[in-house]
Amino acid sequence: MKVNSKALELIKEFEGLRLEAYQDSVGVWTIGYGTTSRAGIGVTVGPGMKISQSEAERYLQDALDKFGEKILPGFTRQPTPDQYGAMISLAYNIGPTAFLKSTCLRRFNAGDIEGAADALTWFNKAGGQVLRGLVRRREAEAALMLGSDATAPTPRPDAARSSVLQSTELRAQAGQVMTGVGAAATGISMLDGWAQVAAIVVGGLVICLALYAMRRRIARWVG
């Protein structure tokens, strides 16, 4: 499966083009558009190495083809070109082994695209430190996976949460449930006889469905 133009431009933008070998943020010798010796394309990158732009383009394409061969067996469902592009961009950055073990891939295979895009944003550290460049790259990849404009990503509101209680979506939903319970109680108190019984049954069902939806969202957040 080939990487589409949107994903290719995203990778180029965030990798940057360097025609002379340099050490990246964790000390790995790199050249071109993020090509390293570990790419497995027959290139050994080291001090003093220089290449042309056409060579950088070829190295990148060869590396993406190689990475694609490694990660495609991990998919149990067919990704769209944008979804594949977002995930191979991640794999190119963190390595195919880490990607194949990722929650991002697991959620994607389960059909949870939004959850996969969320899990993708977790890979924002290098050397144990959160890097703004990686945060921006993950946001762009997540936007591409969700079919949004990858050049102007909007950060997910719960991307930096560390506790389920920090999820703005869950807190809002819980507030809606409590408001609904209060309103239902007031309305039921004004009825009598079978009308009151029927209202209690219907209200109970609505509350149960709302709580079930919250439980599923919490399970996805944790998973």
Rounded distance between C-alpha atoms, residue 52 and residue 8, angstroms: 18
Catalytic residue among 9, 13, 15, 55: 15
Residue 152 is which amino acid? Answer: A
- The closest alpha carbon to 170, from 160, 157, 180, 183, belongs to 157
Q: Does residue 114 carry a catalytic annotation?
A: no
DSSP code of 126?
E
H or E segment to which residue 80 belongs: none
Identify the residue whose tokens are 């002379």: 20
Token output for 17 = 């083009």
- The closest alpha carbon to 64, from 8, 5, 136, belongs to 8
Strand spans (E) along the chain: 18-23, 29-32, 35-36, 125-126, 129-130
Residues involved in catalysis: 15
